[in-house]
Amino acid sequence: MAIAADYIIDYLISRGVKRSYGYPGSLAGFIMDALRKRSSQISNRLLYTEQACGFAAIGDTLVSGAPALCWATSGPGATNLVTPIANAWLDSVPVIFLTANVHTADSREKLGCAALRQNGNQELDIVSIARSITKFAARIDDATKIRETLDLAWEAATSARKGPALIDLPIDVSKSEINDLERSLASRAPLAANASGALSAIDEAIVNAENPVIVAGGGIRSANVKASFIAWLAKTQERKPALKAVTTLRGKDLLATNDPLNMGVIGVWGNEKANEAVKNADLIVAIGSRLANRQLAPFGGALSCKVIRVDIDEAEFARRVTQGEAIDVVADLGDLFGASVAKPPKRVVVSDVGQNMWRVGREFAIESGDRALFSAGLGAMGFSLCAAIGAHYAAPNAEIIAVCGDGGLQMSVEELHFIAANRVPIAVIALNNNALGLIRAFQERNFGGEHFCTTAKSGYASPDWEALAKAYGADYYRFDALTDRVDRSADSAIDGVNDRDAGNRRFNVSSNRVVEEGAGGGSSRAFNGASDRDAYRLSNGASAEVEIRALIDLASRLRKTSASAFIIEAKVKPVYP
């Protein structure tokens, strides 16, 4: 005989959940004890806000491909999970969220008064709050319904278009003794009645087109079909040499930047070459991409050519994305291409939100074994550092780099303590323009240079990152004169100084190399010494976009000499787009 909390954790372990993230609360006590007793089977990480725990679980799930658990107590603990739940919903990430709640005898439902706002302390109906941003949300008031609820939650989160599931557990139910109530779920039928036939039809459409372009989206990795998709793409190009491929932001890491097929990322924050390829296409085949508004904005909000969309979510086809012929294929990509096993990443770069996301999406050069993570749909500031923590535990041998703006990093600054105290070897690149740069740029364009709450003179301030790094126990490096605008007319350089400990280390980052001076007895070494500007040149030839690449490559080099967390603060000039 087991109590409900034990049974729930055992169930998740049996489903392959290996890691959990959560913040304590009294009402979650039995959940916490169940995790403690099973620490050899499921590890737990205590980050310092529930939101951070949720983002970490998302980063873990994105990198591992398997659901992670995120748990919290009732009331404010549960509501602090709303943002990561929404993030998981919009980016189709199958995280399992488990919240505690008050004793059922203290709940307002027991009083039979729906208008009553609250009865028990910290009582809140988190299920109603979360229902519109989850695939499944339910409270377990009856311990005999636990197995059925778990099965439904797991099936919802991990099948069809994936997404978060939430289970709310009153404290009296969490300690109830239960029997193993078996329930068999019917096997899910493939959405495509003839997957091979659908793929053959797509192949023929590509061969018959003059300028076909594949749009590869995040749904490809979500369906665990990257390797089989890449194999299909190569085979299809053999039949149609003119075939080109572009990616969405979430699909950025599907293809290496130097792959001849890959034109880059499309959309408002995309590459010119990628957008040009889409503009000139007579056939677009969008696979695992919903062709979101920001992706279509450079084309007037809609394409004009023939578009074939392959998506598991039929609701997406309600959106009109082309003025030309539209063919919609409802299919599970696993049925279409066949599932493939993902290799552990070698390097994971996690972007925050703002100009830093734009620059990582556009400038970070993907190599074999790289992953790039974004809060793409929701755009949640504070995402990168927390998701990077989850990525580390999902792939402990990978190099993890979080790229933030100073505004986004302040939204999760407490997690600098987590990475320093736990010696989590994450490199944090903070692009500091002492402003909320993306909003500031909007104000520049629309309000004649008037600022409000976005600059040092209008109410916003950035802290002393060196002092914060020291307080948290993280290593610190500083660079100056990094522009926050891509200047396509000239190359730019970064000079930086680190005055940490006894050493004085200077780094010069230019458009073609990074040189360390004065380290190791005055030696000078070139970093990643490729030929001139081509070493960091994007497919559209914008050599000034080296800066993010150089900083990421420098972080990679510093990681090889340090097992600790460190911050690279890149001082950004207040240059307006």
- Looking at residue 547, its pLDDT comes to 74
In a domain, 418, yes or no: yes
Query: Which of 337, 368, 397 finishes a domain?
Result: 337
User: Both 212 and 155 in a single domain?
Assistant: no
Query: Which of 274, 308, 337 finishes a domain?
Result: 337
CB atoms within 10 A of CB 282: 14
User: Both 369 and 261 in a single domain?
Assistant: no
In a domain, 359, yes or no: yes
Matching residue, tokens 């004085």 = 504
Average pLDDT in the chain: 85
Say which DSSP state 473 is in: T
User: Both 47 and 145 in a single domain?
Assistant: yes
Confirm if 313 and 160 have CB atoms less than 8 A apart.
yes
The tokens describing 212, both together, are 């076909």
**Which helix (H) or strand (E) element contains residue 393?**
helix 383-394
User: Both 202 and 266 in a single domain?
Assistant: yes
Query: Which of 178, 208, 230 finishes a domain?
Result: 178
User: Both 406 and 554 in a single domain?
Assistant: yes
How buried is 141 (Cβ within 10 angstroms: 0-12 exposed, 13-18 middle, 19+ buried)?
Answer: middle
pLDDT band at residue 3 under the 50/70/90 scheme: very high
User: What 3-state class would DSSP assign to 145?
Assistant: helix
- Sequence length of the chain is 577
CB atoms within 10 A of CB 503: 10
Confirm if 137 and 127 have CB atoms less than 8 A apart.
yes
The tokens describing 482, both together, are 């990094």
* Residue range of the domain that includes 462: 347-573
- At 59, which CATH number? 3.40.50.970
User: Both 285 and 416 in a single domain?
Assistant: no
User: What 3-state class would DSSP assign to 506?
Assistant: strand
- At 212, which CATH number? 3.40.50.1220
In a domain, 342, yes or no: no
User: Both 446 and 567 in a single domain?
Assistant: yes
In a domain, 373, yes or no: yes
Confirm if 250 and 272 have CB atoms less than 8 A apart.
no
User: Both 72 and 117 in a single domain?
Assistant: yes
User: Both 353 and 328 in a single domain?
Assistant: no
pLDDT band at residue 485 under the 50/70/90 scheme: very low
Confirm if 376 and 351 have CB atoms less than 8 A apart.
no
Question: Which tens digits make up the pLDDT trace of 271-281?
Answer: 999 999 999 99
Of the candidates 19, 12, 86, 24, which has an alpha carbon nearest to the alpha carbon of residue 50? 24
Tally of structural domains, the chain: 3
Q: What is the mean pLDDT of residues 213-221?
A: 97
Matching residue, tokens 């190791």 = 520
Percent of the chain with pLDDT over 70: 85
Question: Which tens digits make up the pLDDT trace of 291-329?
Answer: 999 899 999 999 999 999 999 999 999 989 999 999 999
**pLDDT for 251 beyond 50:** yes
pLDDT band at residue 575 under the 50/70/90 scheme: very low
In a domain, 188, yes or no: no
pLDDT: is 16 or 535 the higher one? 16
**pLDDT for 109 beyond 80:** no
- Looking at residue 2, its pLDDT comes to 85
Instruction: Look up the pTM and report it.
Output: 0.88
pLDDT band at residue 183 under the 50/70/90 scheme: low
In a domain, 444, yes or no: yes
User: Both 237 and 263 in a single domain?
Assistant: yes
Contacts of 210 (CB under 8 A, 6+ apart): 242, 282
Confirm if 515 and 506 have CB atoms less than 8 A apart.
no
User: Both 238 and 320 in a single domain?
Assistant: yes
Question: Which tens digits make up the pLDDT trace of 376-413?
Answer: 999 999 999 999 999 999 999 999 999 999 999 999 99
- Looking at residue 219, its pLDDT comes to 96
In a domain, 370, yes or no: yes
User: Both 127 and 227 in a single domain?
Assistant: no
3-state secondary structure string, 24-61?
CCHHHHHHHHHHHHCCCCCEEECCCCHHHHHHHHHHHH
Cα separation, 480 vs 296, whole angstroms:
36
In a domain, 184, yes or no: no
- Report for 58-62, 114-118, 329-333, 488-492: range of highest mean pLDDT: 58-62
